[in-house]
Amino acid sequence: MKHKLAAMAMAGLLTFSLAACSSGSSTQTTAGSTTAAATTKGEDTTTAAATEGAETTAAATTTQSSGEVANKDKPLVWFNRQPSNSSTGELDTAALNYNANTYYVGFDANQGAEVQGTMIKEYIEKNIDTIDRNGDGIIGYVLAIGDIGHNDSIARTRGVRKALGTGVEKDGAINSDPIGTNTDGSSSIVQDGTLEVNGKTYIVRELASQEMKNSAGATWDAATAGNNIGTWSSSFGDQIDVVASNNDGMGMSMFNAWSKENSVPTFGYDANSDAVAAIAEGYGGTISQHADVQAYLTLRVLRNALDGVDIDTGIGTADAAGNVLSSDVYTYNADERSYYALNVAVTADNYKDFTDSTKVYEPVSNQLDASTSPTKKVWLDIYNAADNFLSSTYQPLLQKYDDLLNLDVEYIGGDGQTESNITNRLGNPSQYDAFAINMVKTDNAASYTSILDQ
Ligand code: BGC
Ligand code: CA
C-alpha cells in the first residue's frame, strides 16, 4: 500500500519535472521568471504530496534524492567566487569545510595574473617602435577593474602593476586600489615604471583605473567599462597606448567602443570566443583560465561524492571511461579544499587553438556509465546571468559536461547584485542531491549553508 502511494506520488513528480524541463536534461531559469518557476514547482510537489498524505512525501522525496541524506551532508561545490573575506581576501575556511564533501573550483589567480602582466609587457616590448602614440616617451595605459572585493580581480590588477613596474607596496602586497586618474603621474597608489627596450628607457604610467560597477551595484560591468573608455579617451585619448582589463567582458566593450577604431591594443582575461576572434582585429590578447577544466571539475567533484568513490577519480586518476586530467592543467590544494585550473596566454601567436571557448576538454570528454553513475539532481546557480564569461563560456561548458556525467542540473541565473534573488530559489533543497554555488559576494557563503542546515 505504502509502496503504491509512493509510486503514484513519483509519477506525479515525474510528470511535473518533464513539464518543467523544456529541453533535454537541464532546466534554464533566469532572474525574475525563475521565481515563478520555482514557486510553481514547489507548489506542485506540495499538492501531490498533500493528496497522497504525509507518509508519501517522505517516500517520494527519498526516492527523488539520495536516500536519507540530510541537506547539510550533501555534496557542495563553490565555484568561480571563492568563499573569502572581501576586504582582506582571507579564505572562509568554515564554508570551504562545510561538510566532508565540500570543495571549491576556480583557477590559480596569482599564476594567471602573472601570465597576464607578462603578456602585456612582452607585447609592449615587441611593438615598441609603434606603441607610443604621442611620442612622449611614456607608455600610458588605462585599467578596468572588475570588483575591488574579489580575489581574482585583485590578483589581476596586481599582476599588471607588477609586470609593468607601476605597483606600490602596501601592507606587504601590491596596492590594488583604483586610482581614478593619474595623467601627471602624481598618484601615490601607483608609481611610474620604467622599461628598457633596445637601449632606450621608457616610462610606463597607469593613467587611470576604476572599478566597473554599475549604479545598481553589478560589478565587472561591461557596459560601464564601455562608457568609461569614452570619458577617458575624450579627456586624454592620445596618451592611451594600451588598454588593460580584469576580464574580456569589459575589455571587449572598451575595444568595440574605442580601441579597435584607434588601433590601441586591448588586453583582457577569460578567452571568451568573441575576444579570441577579436585578436585577428587588433585585440592584444587574453588569458584562458581553462574554463573547460574548471567546468568539468565543478561537476566532477559532485559526481565522485555522489558515487562514493575516491575524490581523485577522473581527475588525477583515470576513471573507467578513461577521463583524466594531467598536472599541467590544474592543481589541488588540500588545505584550502580547492581545485585550481592553470592559465595560458592567448595571443596572436596561438589564438587559432582557442576559437571555441565552449569546447569540452578532450581528455575528460568520455560519457560515464549510467549503471555505476546513475542520474542525480544538482542545483546550480550562476550569480550573474549577464556576465560574459559565465554565460558565454562557463555555463555552455557545464551543460555539456552535465550530460557526460549523468547529472540533471537545474541552472539558476542571478542578477549579479542580489544574493537573496538566488537564495530564494533554493527554497526546496531536499529535491536535489548536490549543490553548486556561485555567490554574488564572496563573504556570503552562510546565506546558502544556513538554508542547507535547516
Ligand atoms: C572571470 C570574470 C567574471 C568573474 C565573475 C572571473 O573568474 O574572469 O570574467 O566576471 O569571474 O565572478
Ligand atoms: Ca605616450
The pLDDT of residue 68 is: 85
The pLDDT of residue 265 is: 98
Nearest to 13, CA basis, from 408, 420, 401, 449:
408
DSSP state of 4: H
Cα 80 to ligand 1 centre (Å):
7
The pLDDT of residue 71 is: 98
What pTM value is reported for the model?
0.84
249 lines ligand 1 (CB under 6 A): yes
Cα angle 249, 411, 65 (rounded to 5 degrees) comes to 150
Cα 103 to ligand 2 centre (Å):
46
Q: What is the pLDDT along the chain (454 residues), one digit of tens a residue?
A: 334 444 444 443 433 333 333 333 444 444 433 333 333 333 333 333 333 333 333 333 333 444 589 999 999 999 999 999 999 999 999 999 999 999 999 999 999 999 999 999 999 999 999 999 999 999 999 999 999 999 999 999 999 999 999 999 999 999 999 999 999 999 999 999 999 999 999 999 999 999 999 999 999 999 999 999 999 999 999 999 999 999 999 999 999 999 999 999 999 999 999 999 999 999 999 999 999 999 999 999 999 999 999 999 999 999 999 999 999 999 999 999 999 999 999 999 999 999 999 999 999 999 999 999 999 999 999 999 999 999 999 999 999 999 999 999 999 999 999 999 999 999 999 999 999 999 999 999 999 999 999 9
Ligand positioned closest to the Cα atom of 438: 1
80 lines ligand 1 (CB under 6 A): yes
Nearest to 222, CA basis, from 193, 199, 245:
245
Cα 13 to ligand 1 centre (Å):
36
Yes or no: say if 10 and 60 are a contact pair by the CB < 8 Å rule: yes
- Write b or e for each residue in 425-447: b if 16 or more Cβ atoms lie within 10 A of its Cβ, otherwise e: bbebbbbbbbbbbbbbbbbbbeb
Rounded (10°) angle between helices 395-404 and 291-307: 40
The pLDDT of residue 424 is: 98
Ligand positioned closest to the Cα atom of 388: 1
- Write b or e for each residue in 220-240: b if 16 or more Cβ atoms lie within 10 A of its Cβ, otherwise e: bbbebbbbbbeebbeebeebb
Pocket test for ligand 1, best of 157, 270, 437 (most atoms within 8 A of CB): 270
The pLDDT of residue 111 is: 96
The pLDDT of residue 192 is: 98
Other beta carbons within 10 Å of 179? 18
288 lines ligand 1 (CB under 6 A): no
Contacts of residue 449, Cβ cutoff 8 Å, sequence gap at least 6: 72, 76, 95, 98
Ligand 1 atom, smallest distance to 438 CA: 12
DSSP string, 384-432: BTT-HHIIIIIHHHHHHHHHHTTEEEEEEE-BSS-HHHHHGGGS-GGG-
Ligand positioned closest to the Cα atom of 205: 2
Cα 207 to ligand 2 centre (Å):
10
Ligand positioned closest to the Cα atom of 154: 1
DSSP state of 167: B
319 lines ligand 1 (CB under 6 A): no
In the structure grid, which three cell numbers stand for residue 448, read together? 546558502
Other beta carbons within 10 Å of 115? 22
Cα 200 to ligand 1 centre (Å):
37
In this structure, the residue with its CA closest to atom 7 of ligand 1 is 80
Query: What domains lie within the chain, and their CATH numbers?
Result: 4-108+290-453 (no CATH), 128-264 (3.40.50.2300)
Cα 135 to ligand 2 centre (Å):
5
